[in-house]
Amino acid sequence: MILTDYYKAEKLTEAKTRFDVTASTGGYDLFERLLINKKGVNIGGLSFNLIQRPDYWKGKKYDLAITKGNHNITSIKRPNIEVNTGFGDINGTNDACIIIFNPDFKEAGITSIEIFIARGVKHDALNVWYLFTDGEFNDDINELKKITSTIPVFTGLV
């Protein structure tokens, strides 16, 4: 199985860029450590931000990035901006990821993000995305979703 981990996040608060993880397979240690909320809303839960990628960031220009605090987790590359999918590589690792936005993202804005991790294939991320768009990972996705746990989210301040 090339896709090894799954995280689903949803926009649950009025915060402009915040997404709270509502389901996951767990086990991707970097996300489990980096995305944890230590104060404010949903303490102990996981969240990240989806932002417009700043112009001053080095490297190729892509329009979106997933971040947490000062950490860039991944820039999102979207070879076809008309569809709700993209890919990236997880900063500081050899891992790639496939990213899926809600199907109605053009009309409703981005309200949910699914992240599928492909460990060890950072340098083949584009090819992984091509295989994904060709439907080659449908079985992997179904298997990951079968072992996914729902994560309770507390959206009030503590």
Q: Let me know: does 9 contact 19? Beta carbons within 8 Å.
A: yes
In this prediction, residues 56-63 reach a mean pLDDT of: 62
Tens-digit pLDDT profile for residues 9-53: 999 988 999 999 999 999 999 999 999 998 888 888 899 999 987
What percentage of the chain exceeds 90 in pLDDT? 68
Any domain includes 143 = yes
Amino acid identity of residue 86, one-letter, is: G
Structure confidence at residue 58 (pLDDT): 59
Report the distance separating Cα 88 and Cα 99, nearest Å: 8
Which of 9-18, 38-47, 60-69, 149-158 is most confident? 9-18
| Domain annotation covers residue 155 | no
Q: pLDDT over 70 for what percent of the chain?
A: 91
Q: Which residues are CB-neighbours of 94 under 8 A, at least 6 positions away?
A: 119, 120, 121, 122, 123
Q: Residue 9: inside a domain, yes or no? A: yes
| Spatial distance between the Cα atoms of 86 and 75, rounded to a whole number of angstroms | 10
User: 48 or 155: which carries more pLDDT confidence?
Assistant: 48
User: For position 54, what pLDDT does the model report?
Assistant: 61
Please answer whether residues 87 and 77 qualify as being in contact, where contact means their C-beta atoms are separated by less than 8 angstroms.
Answer: yes
Residue 35, in any domain of the structure? yes
**Among the listed ranges 74-88, 92-106, 127-141, which one has the minimum average pLDDT value?**
74-88
pLDDT at 95 over 60: yes
Task: Give me the domain span that covers residue 131.
Answer: 5-150
In a domain, 156, yes or no: no
The pLDDT value recorded for residue 158 is: 46
CA distances from 83 to 34, 133, 151 (A): 28, 10, 28
Asked if 7 and 31 touch (Cβ cutoff 8 Å), the reply is: yes
Predicted TM-score (pTM) of the model is 0.91
